[in-house]
Amino acid sequence: MINNNPIGLFDSGIGGTSIWKEIHELLPDENTIYLADSKNAPYGQKSKEEIVALSFKNTEFLLQQNCKIIVVACNTATTNAIKELRATYSVPFIGIEPAIKPAATHSKTQTIGILATQGTLNSELFHQTAERFQNTKIVEQIGHGLVQLIENGEINSVEMTNLLNSYLQPMIEANIDYLVLGCSHYPYLIPQIKKILPENIKIIDSGEAVARQTKNILKEKIGFNNQLEKSTQVFYTNSNPKVLTSILNNKYPVIYKDF
């Protein structure tokens, strides 16, 4: 099947690029459009209604650019709005949810930790997933302040280290053997997190699974790009493009647009 339209992705900010990287690695010939709604970040403390409204706005923007599939590269938007998005639009949506299942399935201590936003941890969808793993203790922690620091380009700051320490120490004490990163911004914190966690605690996120799922849906329902020229990767932000440019290692131009 052939479809040369781009894959669209959106996030509350720059974090969803961790998902974009996985998708681009698996599907390098696909054109992509990434939308960073950094002006409205963080989504994590907003109400469900606000998150749904912002997710619709981002979707409209991507549909205007003829995206053939939309990847909601944000756990908070997925857990709060994907049902409403799917009920409204006919385009397929790929969502990202905390990887509770692999962590709970493989945990030997039957105790796992999850670091995510308030919006994700309070969502109905997250509770439904967590309830399926009654035999596993899930230590939940809201990552207050982490997204703002990442959006400000302060990944390696002392404040970041202090926050991570305060969030992870209680999990270590609770004897977790898996830490689930339930926010697409957090994979950028893995080097710092590794400095804090003992080696036996594994860190997992959902990026690779989302990329595989995107590929499957393209294969089964939508079609792949078959244009011979090099694929294009377009990035939009409605805030200062500096941090997004640098998280992409200055390899791609970033377009500022007030959407």
- Rounded Cα distance, 105 and 31, in Å: 35
- 95 touches ligand DGL (CB under 6 A): no
183 given a catalytic annotation: yes
- 72 touches ligand DGL (CB under 6 A): no
- 75 touches ligand DGL (CB under 6 A): yes
- 147 touches ligand DGL (CB under 6 A): yes
Q: What are the residues facing 8 on neighbouring strands?
A: 33, 70
Size of the site for ligand DGL (CB under 6 A): 18
- 120 touches ligand DGL (CB under 6 A): yes
- 41 touches ligand DGL (CB under 6 A): yes
Q: Smallest gap, in angstroms, from Cβ of residue 16 to ligand DGL? A: 6
Residue in this structure with the two tokens 């040369």, named with its chain if needed: 4
* Sequential DSSP letters for 136-183: SEEEEEE-TTHHHHHHTT-TT-HHHHHHHHHHHHHHHHTT-SEEEEES
Contact range with ligand DGL by CB under 6 A, out of 56-64, 182-190, 204-212, 216-224: 182-190
| One of 59, 70, 112, 185 touching ligand DGL (CB under 6 A) | 185
Amino acid at 82: I
| One of 7, 8, 10, 15 touching ligand DGL (CB under 6 A) | 15
Both structure tokens of 17:
């690029």
- 187 touches ligand DGL (CB under 6 A): no
- Rounded Cα distance, 155 and 120, in Å: 21
**Alpha carbon of 109 to those of 31, 48, 105, 181: distances in Å?**
43, 34, 11, 18
98-117: contacts with ligand DGL (CB under 6 A): 117
Q: Which residues are at the interface with ligand DGL (CB under 6 A)?
A: 11-13, 15-16, 41-44, 74-76, 117, 120, 147, 183-185
